[in-house]
Amino acid sequence: MANKQIWDGTATFTPGDTPFGFYDSDITFQTDAQKVAKFVGTRLGYPLMDVELQQQQMFACFEEAITTYGNEVFTYKIRENYLSLEGSSTGSLINTQVVDPTLSRIVELSKHYGTEAGVGGNVDRHTGSIETISNQQTYDLDAWAETQGIEGGIEIRKVFYEAPPAILRYFDPYAGTGTGVQSLMTAFDFGSFSPGVNFLMMPTSYDILKTQAIEFNDQVRKSTYSFEIVNSKLKLFPIPSRAGKMHFEYYKNTDKSKINYNTDTSLISNVGEVPYSNPEYKGINSVGRQWIFNYTLALAKEVLGYIRGKYQTVPVPGAEATLNQADLLADARAEKTALLTQLRETLTSTGRSAQLDAQAKESEDVENILKSIPMTIYIG
């Protein structure tokens, strides 16, 4: 069989000659398939050497090379744009469409961070309160949640246990003494609010300075109001000296752990649903087609290597000839790896992130060059 010429040097493509028929109706593909078969046969040694392939095998390699090219290109596009694609419609193909970056998924993600940071988010924040008891420092929040019928526990986000604002004590009972204008308080109907006169007659800066003085006095002379929460136990500092009510804000743990599902099956939920299809061969430029031709040759070498591997040697007059199966397979695998690496590097270097970096570097270089150029002197 090794001595029998399988391919006769001619190729005629007919729709149906490829395994899947992805591109059979494309006139450009039909024309190039015949040319590629001759290219592959010539590179494999025809007509000086027999090429144990049939034209359908060459056409199959050509089809596979185009599909591999499209898979690499579109996989890269999916990887680069998936945040913008997820959640969009699967209705129409986007092979030839430009995907504009959006912040929709990032905004959704930021809501979860907002919940943790306490600056918005997508989880409802509730308010509650407990009765503080004189000389009792620790309070069980899980027990409080059970009394409220809350399952799964709560997460405290803010406790309103702090010193009274200084502005409340700005209106102290001594503010009216020494002003000499006590009668103005009655005239302006401030009643017992002695600082009414100050409020009217003094500049705003006076109010600010006095408030700061009260707050600083509290820091120096009084213990700081604070709290800590350990294992759902709330500990107050200082220990409450009298009974009262303390308010707080909290999340329900069941609300925070709940995952929202969109049951619309017409939306993209994984990379397998992104509406890319096999590329249109006639739309691939000459650079892409050259890659496809070379990859077709590598695939043909691989097929030929497997065919020749059926017989390691063949008899010839007076001796045996060893076939080059191992060399063909080694060359094919090396060429396929090199071509895929080259294509992936090209895609990466032309991606959005790489292009932005290149533009930034170019802008920086231009700026540095312009710094060394003397300013133009005007000559009238």
The domain spans of the chain are 122-257
Long-range contacts of 286-294 (CB under 8 A, 24+ apart): 288/69, 289/32, 291/69, 291/339, 291/342, 291/343, 292/62, 292/65, 292/66, 292/69, 293/36, 293/39, 293/65, 294/335, 294/339
Q: How far apart are CA 181 and CA 194, in angstroms?
A: 10
> How far does CA 81 lie from the centroid of its chain?
8
Report pLDDT digits (tens) over 128-154.
999 989 999 999 988 999 999 998 888
Residue 35: which pLDDT band, with cuts at 50, 70 and 90? very high
Asked if the model's pLDDT at residue 68 lies above 90, the reply is yes
Q: What per-residue confidence (pLDDT) applies to 92?
A: 87
Q: What per-residue confidence (pLDDT) applies to 178?
A: 41
Instruction: Find all residues with CB under 8 Å of 135, minimum gap 6, and list them.
Output: 239, 240, 241
End-to-end Cα, the chain, rounded Å: 90
Q: What per-residue confidence (pLDDT) applies to 31?
A: 97
219 vs 52: which has the higher pLDDT: 52
pTM: 0.64
Residue 337: which pLDDT band, with cuts at 50, 70 and 90? very high
Q: What per-residue confidence (pLDDT) applies to 376?
A: 72
**Residues of the chain with pLDDT > 70: what percent?**
81
CB–CB of 126/149 below 8 Å? Answer: no
Residue 171: which pLDDT band, with cuts at 50, 70 and 90? low
Residue 177: which pLDDT band, with cuts at 50, 70 and 90? very low
Average confidence (pLDDT) over 60-83: 95
Q: How far apart are CA 276 and CA 273, in angstroms?
A: 8
- List the single range of 10-14, 145-149, 374-378 with lowest mean pLDDT: 374-378
Report pLDDT digits (tens) over 280-316.
999 999 999 999 999 999 999 999 999 888 776 555 5
Report pLDDT digits (tens) over 88-131.
888 889 888 888 887 777 777 787 777 777 677 778 889 999 99
Q: What per-residue confidence (pLDDT) applies to 167?
A: 57
Mean pLDDT of the chain: 82
49 vs 170: which has the higher pLDDT: 49
Average confidence (pLDDT) over 322-347: 92
Q: What per-residue confidence (pLDDT) applies to 328?
A: 93
